[in-house]
Structure 1
Amino acid sequence: MSVQTSPQLQGAAISKSPALHAAGANSGEKTRRFGNRRSLMCFLLVTVFLIALLDWFLASTQRLYVDEDSAAAQQQGTVWQHFAVRGNKVVPEIISRDEARFTFPISLSARHTLRFAVYPDGPAEYEIVLHSDAIDRQIAIRKIDRPTSRSISLPAGAGELRFIVHGRIAWFDLRLTRQFHWPLYLALVVLVLFALTRQEPRRLSGRAGNWLAFGVCTLLCLGIIEIVLRTVELKLPPAILAAESKDVL
Structure 2
Amino acid sequence: MLHRALATTDHPRGWRDYVVPQCWDAFTPENHAVWDLLFARQVELLGSRVVTPFLDGIDLLRLSHPGVPDLDELNAILEPRTGWRTVAVTGLVPDDIFFAMLGERVFPVGNFIRAREQLDYLEEPDCFHDLFGHIPMLADDDFAKMVEHVGRLGGAAIAAGHGELVARIYWHSVEFGLAREGGELKILGAGLASSFGEAHFSLESDAVERLPFSVPRAVRTAYRNDVFQPLYLVSDSVESTVEEILGTRADDLLAIE
Same fold (TM > 0.5): no
Using the size of structure 1 for normalisation, the TM-score is 0.21
Q: Which has a greater percent of helix? A: 2
Q: Which has a greater percent of strand? A: 1
